[in-house]
Structure 1
């Protein structure tokens, strides 16, 4: 490719790689697991710092990429499943038709369905195991380790600013506040506005990292221990859950209906993908000459936004 008869070395290859990158990105955005983060977010996804959010989800805030051990693998596994809302709650296991799961009801409180949101508010959690209390403890723990960045008055003022942001309503998580977004691994850009002193951004990332670790240990891990013990008493063992499948009445009719629905959804996704690809190819060819533009990585989000608004 050339501009004003001056060859641009590697320009076409670069443009094609960007096109492939955005096509893959769009495929991810159209996943049912993250539909609420993009398609149904009413523009709320534009407020999320996705670069830092994915670092947090991949456990790269305080852990190097080169690290590979059992603890890091367990942390990454939890955070990715937590972000996609596919932690093995009873709702998820029921949908998968896992043997021995009688219903979607929470095995601990037996009152509400054990959804992803129910995990954090179940009345069987310990008294201090609430999101706000764990966030407060994480905040105090990290600040106590960083005494050189701020003095006492600055710390108190920053705490007030952080709690003010924490109380803000989330545009993605429905009626919940921004702490629920952190619970899922999403970092809203509003958090960065409180960082006015050098080093505060790094401290804030450490707070989020410690918070997710405590959420995993104090709520999820304890829930798993209690659930495994209650299932063992009922004779529901891990091997049986893996080998057997639950059989329901009218299962064949349901599977047929689900198959038709999946087929229809697949056709719809294919049509959307073709529309998006044409949009990218027709409207973004000129961007091969805008190699230094900052928003070139946000093409996928822009196309999705345009698609939702049409």
Structure 2
């Protein structure tokens, strides 16, 4: 046994015999051995043994390298013969006896609080302890039962064996040794935790930052601020300033549009008087597929916050809206509302990182606000300076998977969904319906040559679903009738004689038009070009602006009237010009089907003009319906009444025993000739499989684009139809 093994934690006080036995795990029974008494006589400066400081000649001969402590583990069952102790900041040791489990998230155990007996304490002897009757530390709900319960610290606490003497509790250590050991354990734990957090930061930087050069990650790692060792009572205060400037977009090798930004960080320390001390500045470039400045600022904050030391305060000198977004997210206690945020991944990472490192976000005062304003002006000037911009060689991005903090995350097709889960699901549902439209056989002619981006599908679908007159939550008889007509008209599925005949409708024994003397088949196109129509489509189109003008005049809308007169001719010219999508037809056929052409949007950039042209377009559509479709329906009803065909008759299918006309017999014979053979069935099956594959591919492309954060509202109709090989 060496001299250092006989000393207390301070390295100058000799242990008592029983305390030495407890520390070394020896039996305390029996008398104190002579060799130990001789050692006491030789080493102690005080011959009486009351003060156990060793003689000056032995101080420094050996260093106390190993300090024996029995750590407290909150997960283990504690024995009744020990007490738990730890040191608080600038306080005497706290003593406790383990009592029960805690419901707190931070502490797992609750103990009975023990206090020192009397007002005078002897550092060279074991302290006398008694149960506290109640103090400011008491967490018990029953305050009047003379029992003081406290939370037991886990990381900085240790166990000491105890004994009872005259109704008091005494530990097997002197008060001086308890204080020194507790101080050592506290400082060792803090230092170890600091090293652990620093290593975690290094790992985190490697995990989330992807860069074209290793020097950028080295720069970040070497720039990490460390906690102030000299002043642990007051928190360090940092300012993180971030500014970005958008560059011209470019097309990458894959043919996708790339948005580039220059990012500048300025991080500095503020002293208690509000003066700046250390300052760190660095610049980098960032490239992304979708234009979202808020996301870039949040990700730049993450890079900056990685450099901040734990137990500190941070002031953000960034875009005010982003700053508000962060504070609202942190102060929002509803997880359901949090997941609706578009920037859920970034904001949740920030919240978790700030909490884990005990970093507090605070707002600036007037003096700091002026400092931030001046420094941000300097940063903006730097971003405008071409000489500085040309020196930027680092290109960075953050890896989504590295930012995840939840145990379970929402992933689609190996792609992480970064936020706004419910809005993402709604967007995917909308994409599914749009995919049905895109792959519909009845609408194939509208998408065949649509790479030219001729149609405004946002306006078209809004009009067809009748959102122009009614809101999403409104419905009624008129709304239902209007929507039904517009959808059937778009699909060219209006109840013509050709369609009714194919459906084998009762009393319909021909597919010819009964208005014009059964000369032609009454299909969708024949409705609008039938000789029996009182007005032609061209007449209605030319007269519609004049009629709309009269309505504006009657309602005293002089401003709208002037706008209309300026664009009347151009409006008619667009409608009468040939269609680039429906080859061999004019744009009037687009209007009839309810498809709004982008050429109308190109007439003006002013919102008032655009809205008025849309109203004129809707008016023209309704005029064609009123002056051709409705008179046609009335005439058909008159002729059917004359032939004694009732509405109830048309709701049934034709009876097989009815006498068939010669025309119908010819059609049936033609069908028999086209009987299904094995080859034809196989060919049909192949076509169906191909269509399904194309539909799956187009839907996956749309879902992928939504997951990447892109809005497909203006691009879904140009999705290329290619099946998986």
TM-score with structure 2 length normalisation? 0.37
Greater mean alpha carbon deviation, residues 18-27 or residues 105-114: 18-27
The residue number in structure 1 matching 2:688 is 269
Counterparts in 2 of 1:199 and 1:187: CA distance versus 1, 3 Å: same
1:191 to 600, 613, 618: 600
Contact 1:48 1:186 in 2 (8 A): yes
Contact 1:22 1:300 in 2 (8 A): no
Separation (CA, whole Å) in 2 of partners of 1:24 and 1:172: 22
- Judging by fraction of residues, say which structure has more helix: 1
Separation (CA, whole Å) in 2 of partners of 1:211 and 1:280: 34
Separation (CA, whole Å) in 2 of partners of 1:239 and 1:168: 44
The residue number in structure 1 matching 2:576 is 167
Contact 1:142 1:203 in 2 (8 A): no
The residue number in structure 1 matching 2:402 is 5
The residue number in structure 2 matching 1:77 is 484
Contact 2:513 2:521 in 1 (8 A): yes
Structure 1 stretches lacking a partner, 5+ long: none
Shift of the alpha carbon at 1:244? 3.3
| Secondary structure, counterpart of 2:720 in structure 1 | helix
Shift of the alpha carbon at 1:279? 7.0
Counterparts in 2 of 1:74 and 1:264: CA distance versus 1, 3 Å: farther
- Judging by fraction of residues, say which structure has more strand: 2
The residue number in structure 1 matching 2:526 is 118
Shift of the alpha carbon at 1:180? 2.0
The residue number in structure 1 matching 2:645 is 236
Separation (CA, whole Å) in 2 of partners of 1:258 and 1:214: 45
Contact 1:62 1:206 in 2 (8 A): no
Shift of the alpha carbon at 1:108? 0.7
Separation (CA, whole Å) in 2 of partners of 1:20 and 1:66: 18
The residue number in structure 1 matching 2:466 is 59
Shift of the alpha carbon at 1:229? 1.1
Shift of the alpha carbon at 1:105? 1.7
Contact 2:535 2:627 in 1 (8 A): no
Contact 1:61 1:206 in 2 (8 A): no
The residue number in structure 2 matching 1:147 is 557
The residue number in structure 1 matching 2:715 is 298
Counterparts in 2 of 1:275 and 1:162: CA distance versus 1, 3 Å: closer
Shift of the alpha carbon at 1:48? 0.7
Separation (CA, whole Å) in 2 of partners of 1:218 and 1:151: 24
Separation (CA, whole Å) in 1 of partners of 2:481 and 2:703: 42
Separation (CA, whole Å) in 1 of partners of 2:707 and 2:642: 66
Greater mean alpha carbon deviation, residues 15-24 or residues 266-275: 15-24
The CA deviation string for residues 203-233 of structure 1, in whole angstroms up to 9 with x for no partner, is: 1222222223222222111111111111121
The residue number in structure 2 matching 1:224 is 633
Separation (CA, whole Å) in 2 of partners of 1:155 and 1:20: 39
Shift of the alpha carbon at 1:138? 5.0
Counterparts in 2 of 1:201 and 1:274: CA distance versus 1, 3 Å: same
Separation (CA, whole Å) in 1 of partners of 2:573 and 2:490: 24
Separation (CA, whole Å) in 2 of partners of 1:83 and 1:288: 27
Contact 1:276 1:303 in 2 (8 A): no
The residue number in structure 1 matching 2:52 is none
Separation (CA, whole Å) in 1 of partners of 2:572 and 2:671: 47
Shift of the alpha carbon at 1:186? 0.1
Separation (CA, whole Å) in 1 of partners of 2:505 and 2:452: 33
The residue number in structure 2 matching 1:132 is 541
Larger radius of gyration: 2
Separation (CA, whole Å) in 2 of partners of 1:255 and 1:300: 39
Shift of the alpha carbon at 1:201? 1.5
The CA deviation string for residues 11-42 of structure 1, in whole angstroms up to 9 with x for no partner, is: 4467777666545533332222112112xx32
The CA deviation string for residues 132-182 of structure 1, in whole angstroms up to 9 with x for no partner, is: 245335543454357343464x43321122122122211333333222211
Query: Which of structures 1 and 2 has the larger relative contact order (alpha carbons within 8 angstroms, sep 6+)?
Result: 1
Greater mean alpha carbon deviation, residues 93-102 or residues 23-32: 23-32
Paired positions, count? 302
